[in-house]
Amino acid sequence: MKLGKFKEIDIRDVWAHEQYDFSKWLANEDNLKELGDTIGLSLMEPETEKLVGNYRCDIICKDELTDKTVLIENQLEPTNHDHLGKIITYASGLDATVVIWIVAQAREEHASAIEWLNKHTDDELSFFLIEVHTYKIGDSTPAPMFKIIEQPNDFVKSIKAISNSQELNESQKRRLEFWNMFNDILEDRGKPFNKRKATTYHSYNVAIGSSQCYISIELINSKHKISISLWIKDNKALFDSMFSKKEEIESALETNINWYRIDNKKASCICLDIPNLNFDDQSNYPQLMNESIDWVVKFRSVFSKYL
Protein backbone atom coordinates (compact mmCIF):
# COMPACT_ATOMS: atom_id res chain seq x y z
CA MET A 1 0.00 0.00 0.00
CA LYS A 2 1.38 3.39 -0.98
CA LEU A 3 1.31 5.88 1.92
CA GLY A 4 1.56 9.64 1.85
CA LYS A 5 4.03 11.70 3.82
CA PHE A 6 2.73 13.90 6.63
CA LYS A 7 4.31 17.35 6.21
CA GLU A 8 3.95 20.50 8.32
CA ILE A 9 3.56 23.75 6.41
CA ASP A 10 3.98 27.38 7.47
CA ILE A 11 0.73 28.67 8.97
CA ARG A 12 1.33 32.01 7.24
CA ASP A 13 0.89 30.19 3.94
CA VAL A 14 -2.63 29.35 5.11
CA TRP A 15 -3.57 32.50 7.02
CA ALA A 16 -1.56 35.47 5.81
CA HIS A 17 -3.19 37.93 8.22
CA GLU A 18 -3.96 37.26 11.86
CA GLN A 19 -7.08 39.42 12.10
CA TYR A 20 -8.63 39.22 8.65
CA ASP A 21 -7.75 35.61 7.88
CA PHE A 22 -7.19 33.51 11.02
CA SER A 23 -9.65 35.21 13.40
CA LYS A 24 -12.32 35.22 10.70
CA TRP A 25 -11.68 31.52 10.01
CA LEU A 26 -11.73 30.58 13.71
CA ALA A 27 -14.99 32.44 14.35
CA ASN A 28 -16.72 30.13 11.85
CA GLU A 29 -19.08 27.75 13.70
CA ASP A 30 -17.40 24.53 12.57
CA ASN A 31 -13.88 25.74 13.34
CA LEU A 32 -14.88 27.16 16.72
CA LYS A 33 -16.47 23.78 17.51
CA GLU A 34 -13.20 22.02 16.64
CA LEU A 35 -11.33 24.28 19.07
CA GLY A 36 -14.00 23.69 21.72
CA ASP A 37 -13.81 19.92 21.23
CA THR A 38 -10.04 20.10 21.77
CA ILE A 39 -10.34 21.74 25.19
CA GLY A 40 -13.70 20.36 26.33
CA LEU A 41 -15.92 23.43 25.93
CA SER A 42 -18.98 24.11 23.78
CA LEU A 43 -18.11 27.49 22.28
CA MET A 44 -20.85 29.64 20.74
CA GLU A 45 -21.91 33.21 19.91
CA PRO A 46 -18.50 34.50 18.76
CA GLU A 47 -17.82 38.22 18.39
CA THR A 48 -14.65 39.43 16.70
CA GLU A 49 -12.69 42.63 17.37
CA LYS A 50 -14.52 43.44 20.62
CA LEU A 51 -13.41 46.77 22.09
CA VAL A 52 -11.63 46.74 25.46
CA GLY A 53 -10.81 50.37 26.27
CA ASN A 54 -8.54 51.54 23.46
CA TYR A 55 -7.80 47.98 22.31
CA ARG A 56 -9.63 45.21 20.45
CA CYS A 57 -9.58 41.56 21.48
CA ASP A 58 -9.64 38.95 18.72
CA ILE A 59 -12.66 36.83 19.68
CA ILE A 60 -15.06 36.79 22.61
CA CYS A 61 -17.63 33.97 22.94
CA LYS A 62 -19.61 31.88 25.44
CA ASP A 63 -19.44 28.34 26.76
CA GLU A 64 -22.88 26.87 26.05
CA LEU A 65 -23.24 24.88 29.27
CA THR A 66 -21.82 27.28 31.87
CA ASP A 67 -22.54 30.59 30.08
CA LYS A 68 -18.99 31.64 30.99
CA THR A 69 -17.35 34.36 28.92
CA VAL A 70 -14.44 32.99 26.88
CA LEU A 71 -11.67 35.23 25.54
CA ILE A 72 -9.59 34.03 22.56
CA GLU A 73 -6.40 35.89 21.67
CA ASN A 74 -4.60 34.83 18.49
CA GLN A 75 -0.90 35.26 17.76
CA LEU A 76 0.46 33.66 14.59
CA GLU A 77 4.02 33.95 15.82
CA PRO A 78 6.01 32.87 18.92
CA THR A 79 4.60 34.03 22.25
CA ASN A 80 5.81 37.33 23.69
CA HIS A 81 5.38 39.45 26.82
CA ASP A 82 3.16 41.95 24.99
CA HIS A 83 0.48 39.38 24.22
CA LEU A 84 0.70 37.86 27.70
CA GLY A 85 -0.11 41.31 29.08
CA LYS A 86 -2.92 41.72 26.56
CA ILE A 87 -4.75 38.52 27.52
CA ILE A 88 -4.78 39.56 31.17
CA THR A 89 -5.91 43.10 30.32
CA TYR A 90 -8.64 41.90 27.96
CA ALA A 91 -9.85 39.23 30.38
CA SER A 92 -10.14 41.84 33.12
CA GLY A 93 -11.94 44.35 30.88
CA LEU A 94 -14.43 41.80 29.58
CA ASP A 95 -14.80 39.84 32.84
CA ALA A 96 -13.78 36.65 31.03
CA THR A 97 -13.32 33.53 33.14
CA VAL A 98 -11.80 31.35 30.41
CA VAL A 99 -8.78 32.62 28.45
CA ILE A 100 -7.47 30.85 25.33
CA TRP A 101 -4.16 32.05 23.90
CA ILE A 102 -3.55 30.53 20.44
CA VAL A 103 -0.01 30.87 19.09
CA ALA A 104 2.35 29.57 16.44
CA GLN A 105 4.97 28.64 19.02
CA ALA A 106 4.85 28.64 22.82
CA ARG A 107 8.08 29.80 24.43
CA GLU A 108 9.02 28.00 27.63
CA GLU A 109 8.83 31.11 29.82
CA HIS A 110 5.28 31.89 28.66
CA ALA A 111 4.15 28.28 29.07
CA SER A 112 5.48 28.51 32.63
CA ALA A 113 3.56 31.77 33.15
CA ILE A 114 0.26 30.16 32.05
CA GLU A 115 0.96 27.15 34.26
CA TRP A 116 1.59 29.53 37.18
CA LEU A 117 -1.68 31.41 36.53
CA ASN A 118 -3.64 28.14 36.55
CA LYS A 119 -2.00 27.04 39.80
CA HIS A 120 -2.48 30.34 41.61
CA THR A 121 -5.97 31.39 40.56
CA ASP A 122 -9.23 29.95 41.86
CA ASP A 123 -11.67 27.55 40.23
CA GLU A 124 -13.45 30.37 38.40
CA LEU A 125 -10.48 31.18 36.13
CA SER A 126 -8.99 28.92 33.47
CA PHE A 127 -6.08 29.63 31.12
CA PHE A 128 -5.24 27.66 27.98
CA LEU A 129 -2.11 28.01 25.87
CA ILE A 130 -2.55 26.32 22.49
CA GLU A 131 -0.33 26.03 19.44
CA VAL A 132 -1.93 25.89 16.00
CA HIS A 133 -0.18 23.89 13.28
CA THR A 134 -1.10 23.05 9.70
CA TYR A 135 -0.24 19.86 7.81
CA LYS A 136 -0.55 18.38 4.32
CA ILE A 137 -0.32 14.86 2.96
CA GLY A 138 1.13 15.09 -0.53
CA ASP A 139 -0.90 17.67 -2.46
CA SER A 140 -3.87 17.64 -0.08
CA THR A 141 -5.49 20.80 1.22
CA PRO A 142 -3.95 22.05 4.49
CA ALA A 143 -5.41 20.63 7.70
CA PRO A 144 -5.24 22.57 10.98
CA MET A 145 -4.38 20.98 14.30
CA PHE A 146 -4.66 22.48 17.79
CA LYS A 147 -2.05 21.33 20.29
CA ILE A 148 -2.62 22.02 23.99
CA ILE A 149 0.56 23.26 25.69
CA GLU A 150 -0.92 24.34 29.04
CA GLN A 151 -4.39 23.90 30.51
CA PRO A 152 -6.03 23.89 33.96
CA ASN A 153 -5.59 20.87 36.17
CA ASP A 154 -9.26 20.34 37.01
CA PHE A 155 -8.64 17.88 39.84
CA VAL A 156 -6.23 20.22 41.64
CA LYS A 157 -8.51 23.23 41.11
CA SER A 158 -11.57 21.37 42.38
CA ILE A 159 -9.76 20.29 45.53
CA LYS A 160 -8.33 23.78 46.04
CA ALA A 161 -11.72 25.48 45.65
CA ILE A 162 -13.37 23.17 48.16
CA SER A 163 -10.54 23.22 50.67
CA ASN A 164 -10.71 27.03 50.71
CA SER A 165 -14.30 26.88 51.92
CA GLN A 166 -14.89 23.59 53.70
CA GLU A 167 -13.75 20.04 54.18
CA LEU A 168 -14.94 17.42 51.75
CA ASN A 169 -17.70 15.25 53.14
CA GLU A 170 -17.91 11.58 52.20
CA SER A 171 -20.41 12.06 49.37
CA GLN A 172 -18.33 14.84 47.83
CA LYS A 173 -15.23 12.66 47.91
CA ARG A 174 -17.07 9.77 46.25
CA ARG A 175 -18.55 12.00 43.52
CA LEU A 176 -15.18 13.61 42.78
CA GLU A 177 -13.63 10.14 42.61
CA PHE A 178 -16.40 8.92 40.28
CA TRP A 179 -16.09 11.85 37.84
CA ASN A 180 -12.31 11.59 37.65
CA MET A 181 -12.60 7.89 36.78
CA PHE A 182 -15.43 8.72 34.35
CA ASN A 183 -13.20 11.25 32.57
CA ASP A 184 -10.45 8.65 32.21
CA ILE A 185 -12.88 6.26 30.52
CA LEU A 186 -14.23 9.09 28.34
CA GLU A 187 -10.65 9.83 27.22
CA ASP A 188 -9.99 6.13 26.52
CA ARG A 189 -13.07 6.07 24.29
CA GLY A 190 -11.81 9.01 22.22
CA LYS A 191 -14.08 11.60 23.84
CA PRO A 192 -17.41 10.99 22.02
CA PHE A 193 -18.50 14.24 23.72
CA ASN A 194 -16.65 17.05 25.44
CA LYS A 195 -15.06 16.22 28.75
CA ARG A 196 -16.11 18.43 31.66
CA LYS A 197 -14.02 19.02 34.73
CA ALA A 198 -14.41 16.61 37.62
CA THR A 199 -16.24 18.22 40.56
CA THR A 200 -17.99 17.23 43.76
CA TYR A 201 -21.39 17.89 42.18
CA HIS A 202 -23.89 15.10 41.60
CA SER A 203 -24.34 16.07 37.92
CA TYR A 204 -22.18 16.19 34.79
CA ASN A 205 -23.65 18.24 31.95
CA VAL A 206 -23.17 17.65 28.22
CA ALA A 207 -24.04 20.06 25.41
CA ILE A 208 -26.52 18.96 22.76
CA GLY A 209 -26.05 21.84 20.30
CA SER A 210 -28.81 24.15 21.51
CA SER A 211 -28.98 26.72 24.29
CA GLN A 212 -32.56 25.56 25.01
CA CYS A 213 -31.53 22.28 26.63
CA TYR A 214 -28.68 20.04 27.74
CA ILE A 215 -28.05 16.44 28.78
CA SER A 216 -27.14 15.65 32.37
CA ILE A 217 -25.62 12.54 33.95
CA GLU A 218 -26.80 12.53 37.58
CA LEU A 219 -25.48 10.40 40.44
CA ILE A 220 -28.29 9.51 42.86
CA ASN A 221 -26.54 7.27 45.36
CA SER A 222 -29.44 7.38 47.85
CA LYS A 223 -31.56 5.55 45.26
CA HIS A 224 -28.61 3.54 43.88
CA LYS A 225 -28.99 4.78 40.32
CA ILE A 226 -27.59 7.05 37.61
CA SER A 227 -30.08 9.19 35.73
CA ILE A 228 -29.47 10.26 32.11
CA SER A 229 -31.65 13.32 31.56
CA LEU A 230 -32.50 15.79 28.82
CA TRP A 231 -33.29 19.05 30.61
CA ILE A 232 -35.33 21.62 28.67
CA LYS A 233 -34.59 24.90 30.42
CA ASP A 234 -37.69 27.04 29.91
CA ASN A 235 -39.74 25.91 26.95
CA LYS A 236 -42.90 23.91 27.64
CA ALA A 237 -43.84 24.12 23.96
CA LEU A 238 -40.64 22.25 23.04
CA PHE A 239 -41.38 19.59 25.66
CA ASP A 240 -44.95 19.24 24.36
CA SER A 241 -43.68 18.97 20.80
CA MET A 242 -41.32 16.17 21.78
CA PHE A 243 -43.96 14.45 23.90
CA SER A 244 -46.32 14.41 20.90
CA LYS A 245 -43.65 12.26 19.20
CA LYS A 246 -43.10 10.07 22.27
CA GLU A 247 -43.55 6.74 20.48
CA GLU A 248 -41.26 7.78 17.64
CA ILE A 249 -38.53 8.95 20.05
CA GLU A 250 -38.73 5.89 22.28
CA SER A 251 -38.59 3.67 19.20
CA ALA A 252 -35.38 5.43 18.10
CA LEU A 253 -33.94 5.03 21.61
CA GLU A 254 -35.15 1.41 21.74
CA THR A 255 -36.45 1.84 25.28
CA ASN A 256 -39.20 3.49 27.31
CA ILE A 257 -38.22 6.71 29.10
CA ASN A 258 -39.73 8.98 31.75
CA TRP A 259 -41.36 12.28 30.75
CA TYR A 260 -41.71 15.05 33.38
CA ARG A 261 -43.31 18.31 32.24
CA ILE A 262 -43.01 19.78 35.80
CA ASP A 263 -45.74 22.37 35.44
CA ASN A 264 -44.83 24.31 38.59
CA LYS A 265 -41.25 24.94 37.39
CA LYS A 266 -39.64 26.43 34.28
CA ALA A 267 -37.58 23.34 33.41
CA SER A 268 -38.86 20.04 32.04
CA CYS A 269 -37.06 16.72 32.07
CA ILE A 270 -36.95 13.56 29.94
CA CYS A 271 -34.87 10.78 31.48
CA LEU A 272 -34.02 7.14 32.00
CA ASP A 273 -32.35 5.39 34.93
CA ILE A 274 -29.34 3.09 35.11
CA PRO A 275 -29.55 0.98 38.31
CA ASN A 276 -26.91 -0.42 40.69
CA LEU A 277 -24.88 2.66 41.61
CA ASN A 278 -23.24 2.15 45.00
CA PHE A 279 -20.50 4.45 46.26
CA ASP A 280 -19.36 1.68 48.65
CA ASP A 281 -18.88 -0.86 45.87
CA GLN A 282 -16.94 0.37 42.83
CA SER A 283 -16.56 -3.01 41.15
CA ASN A 284 -19.20 -2.15 38.51
CA TYR A 285 -18.01 1.43 37.90
CA PRO A 286 -16.52 0.75 34.44
CA GLN A 287 -19.76 -0.89 33.31
CA LEU A 288 -21.90 1.97 34.69
CA MET A 289 -19.65 4.62 33.16
CA ASN A 290 -19.58 3.01 29.74
CA GLU A 291 -23.34 2.54 29.80
CA SER A 292 -23.78 6.20 30.79
CA ILE A 293 -21.56 7.33 27.90
CA ASP A 294 -23.51 5.10 25.48
CA TRP A 295 -26.82 6.63 26.56
CA VAL A 296 -25.55 10.21 26.34
CA VAL A 297 -24.37 9.55 22.78
CA LYS A 298 -27.75 8.03 21.93
CA PHE A 299 -29.69 10.89 23.58
CA ARG A 300 -27.68 13.43 21.57
CA SER A 301 -28.21 11.58 18.33
CA VAL A 302 -31.97 11.15 18.79
CA PHE A 303 -33.08 14.36 20.53
CA SER A 304 -30.96 16.70 18.39
CA LYS A 305 -33.32 15.91 15.51
CA TYR A 306 -36.24 17.47 17.40
CA LEU A 307 -34.63 20.79 18.34
Sign of the dihedral defined by the CA atoms of residues 33, 38, 41, 45, in that order: negative
Answer yes or no: is 1 within a domain: no
If asked whether residues 292 and 192 sit together in one domain, one would say yes
CATH of the domain at 275: 3.30.1460
DSSP bridge pairs for 224: none
Number of domains in the chain: 2
Structural contact between residues 262 and 154, judged by C-beta atoms closer than 8 angstroms: no
Q: What are phi and psi of 202, to 5 degrees?
A: -80, -15
Which of 35, 40, 60 has the alpha carbon at shortest distance from 50? 60
If asked whether residues 148 and 176 sit together in one domain, one would say no
DSSP per residue over 230-288, as a string?
A: EEE-S-HHHHHHHHTTHHHHHHHHTS--EEE--TTSS-EEEEEEEE---TT--TTHHHH
If asked whether residues 148 and 14 sit together in one domain, one would say yes
The domain boundary, picked from 102, 119, 152, lies at 152
If asked whether residues 127 and 30 sit together in one domain, one would say yes
What share of residues in the chain are helix, strand, coil (percent, to 5)?
40, 30, 30
Q: Is the pLDDT of residue 184 over 80?
A: yes
If asked whether residues 18 and 147 sit together in one domain, one would say yes
DSSP bridge pairs for 175: none
Q: Is the pLDDT of residue 285 over 60?
A: yes
pLDDT at 162: 52
If asked whether residues 146 and 207 sit together in one domain, one would say no
Q: In angstroms, how far is the first alpha carbon of the chain from the final one?
A: 44
| Predicted TM-score of the model (pTM) | 0.64
Answer yes or no: is 158 within a domain: no
Answer yes or no: is 279 within a domain: yes
If asked whether residues 121 and 20 sit together in one domain, one would say yes
Least confident stretch, 16-20, 153-157, 222-226? 153-157
The domain boundary, picked from 152, 175, 202, lies at 152
d(Cα 24, Cα 291) in Å, to the nearest integer? Answer: 39
The arithmetic mean of pLDDT across residues 110-130, rounded, is: 90
H helices within the chain, ranges in order?
24-26, 29-39, 81-94, 108-120, 154-163, 170-188, 236-243, 246-253, 285-303
pLDDT digits (tens, 9 = 90+) for 141-181: 999 999 999 998 764 555 455 555 455 678 888 998 999 99
Q: Is the pLDDT of residue 218 over 70?
A: yes
If asked whether residues 137 and 30 sit together in one domain, one would say yes
pLDDT at 161: 55
Q: How confident is the model at residue 19 (pLDDT cuts 50, 70, 90)?
A: confident
Which residue range forms the structural domain that includes residue 10?
A: 6-152
The domain boundary, picked from 152, 185, 205, lies at 152
Answer yes or no: is 44 within a domain: yes
If asked whether residues 92 and 134 sit together in one domain, one would say yes
What percent of the chain lies above the pLDDT cut of 90? 63
